[in-house]
Amino acid sequence: MNAQRIFDRARADTQPPLCYPPYTSTAKRAPLEPLIPIPPTALELGSPLVPLHTCPALCDLTQAGRAPPLGERIIVSGHVTDEDGKPLVGVLIELWQANAAGRYKHLHDTHDAPIDPHFEGSGAVVTDADGAYRFITIKPGAYPWRNHPNAWRPAHLHFSVFGACLLTRLVTQMYFPGDPLLAHDPIFMSIANRAARERLVAPLDWSLTVPEFGLGYRFDIVLGGRSGTPGEQA
């Protein structure tokens, strides 16, 4: 029951701040007043009636077009758990990404790289009885953005994750190991704690890699929330 669950205030260094000057868009968009601390109510703890049916599950992004998309096929898989390590079943994961050339299929993406007519770049799955999920897709390309002169985003997948209630809601990005752009990316570097940052980098995993098919990357996700035992110290 969510009523017995404990949701701790995020440790300041393991989550990004709202205002982070190297990410220039935060300057005019991040609130300047301090956030007002409030306790959870039924609204923040209630289970969402998410209309899952409005969009069919799509775990293989390479099958959405009439022909396979260009690029390096990969498998991205992992488990979704709470802070106690308990697998979370039936969690909706939405994914979106650029194509292999680093171009989004979006009206406002003006990067001069080709659109792949066979790649939409969106997927959605629900975690199974073990809290596991698995996508097949292609590795996205790096792309330029206008944050600072010669700014490039490292290759990344956008993840949106729905847990048991509003307080577990997570939108994040997954990165690839060994990417030299990571250290120069203000969005990635906004997380001050190095270990917390590195957890967004999905390691290559041989058990997920399918011979003659594609490399596998493991991206485990931990949503907020833990069971409360009376007297336990946070």
**Footprint of another protein on residues 151-190 (CB under 8 A)?**
158, 160, 165-167, 169-173, 187-188, 190
Among 71, 123, 141, 154, binds another protein (CB under 8 A): 123
State in angstroms the smallest separation of the CB of 209 from another protein.
23
Lay out the site mask for another protein across 11-30 (x = CB under 8 A, - = otherwise).
---xxxxx-x--x-xxxxxx
Q: How far is CA 208 from the centre of its chain?
A: 19
The CA-to-CA distance between both ends of the chain, in Å, stands at 19
State in angstroms the smallest separation of the CB of 156 from another protein.
8
Other CB atoms within 10 A of residue 147 CB: 16
Binding residues among 204-223 for another protein as defined by CB under 8 A:
221-223
44 binds another protein (CB under 8 A): yes
Among 118, 184, 199, 218, binds another protein (CB under 8 A): 199
For residues 157 and 172, give the distance between their C-alpha atoms in angstroms, rounded to a whole number: 9
Q: Are strands 73-81 and 215-218 parallel, antiparallel or unpaired?
A: parallel
Other CB atoms within 10 A of residue 161 CB: 21
Nearer to another protein, 31 or 178 (CB): 31
Nearer to another protein, 97 or 127 (CB): 97
Determine contact, residues 210/227, Cβ cutoff 8 Å.
Answer: no
Catalytic residues: 104, 143, 153, 156, 158
Binding residues among 83-122 for another protein as defined by CB under 8 A:
83-85, 94-98, 104-106, 108-109, 120-122
Phi, psi of 183 (to 5 degrees): -65, -15
* Residue 32, both tokens: 């300047």
43 binds another protein (CB under 8 A): yes
- In sign, the C-alpha dihedral spanning 173, 183, 197, 149 is negative
